[in-house]
Structures are given as structure tokens and as C-alpha cells.
Structure 1
């Protein structure tokens, strides 16, 4: 993803999913990571099928916030049911951000 004052490139859904996989690899404890086939984590993966608790979820969201320079509301984070929900939220926030930058 590239950003400057006049333009923001919206990441493809696959890029956000890849970032989520990277975040899982970074924040999950080794014994939890061993339970996850990262290659099979896709947009349809239910978050409840992953070995994550609320603390890990917030760490995952922080990783995505840092990667894409967006804010993920805590209430929204706890409402996510699938990886697609996260992807859609991040892309929507970036679209909103691009609109604000274009209007500045």
C-alpha cells in the first residue's frame, strides 16, 4: 500500500487477508499457531474457528492498524465474525480516508 497527500491505493482483499495471516503468525503463541493452517485462512474463515481470545484479537487489530494506517474501533473488532468482515472494514476505512484526503 502506498500513501501520499493526494492519493491512497486501496489494497486488494487478498492483501488484507495476507496481512491478517501475517498478524496471526506474529501474535499467536506457538502452540496455538500449530493449530492453524495459515494457507487455509481465507475470507470465509470464521474467527471463532481460530484460537484467539479477546487479547489476541486486539493484538491482531493493532497489527492491521499499523500495516494499513487505519483505526479499527474496538466495538467493531468484537463484532467481526469472519475474516471477510475484517477485510471489508479495513478497505472501507481506507476508502473513507482517501475521500477525506481528496477533499483536503
Structure 2
């Protein structure tokens, strides 16, 4: 296998592992991810959609989110999203880390 192909396969495997980890860690809210790392599940879905569109594939925001969340976004929100605390909201506003 050539070096570029191997790198792409490794990067794809890392992405899938991150995606699956975030699917399992439903206790970690997107606002927590944004506050700590500057990205969240929605950012990943946006980046996925942008990559697909750069390759000529049309993809909706909802389709990309379902790939990342493993279910429709609204279903994930209903099952797992909690109201952000005042502290979380304040940290988000002052962090400047918005995907």
C-alpha cells in the first residue's frame, strides 16, 4: 500500500473511532466539547458535509448530522441533550472557540 493511501485509511479509522466514542459518550454535551476543545459533534458533521461537497456530493446538514450522531439530530437531542448551565453558557460566550 502506498504512503498516501495508508495515511488516508489511518485517518479514516481515527475519525470513525472518534465518531463512535462520541456516540457512546452521550453524557458529554456539545457545549462541554466546545468549551474545552473548540469543536463539537455539530462541527464534525459540518466538516463531513463540507468534505462531501468538495468532492461533488450534495449532502444536507441533517444527513451529515445523522452520520455523526448515529440517529436523526432531533432524536439525539430529545434523548441526550440537557439544558446548559449558566456557567457553561458563560464559558461558551467568553471562549471564542466556536468551531
Structure 1 and Structure 2 fold alike (TM over 0.5): no
User: Which one has the largest radius of gyration?
Assistant: 2
TM-score (norm 1): 0.30
Structure with higher helix content? 2
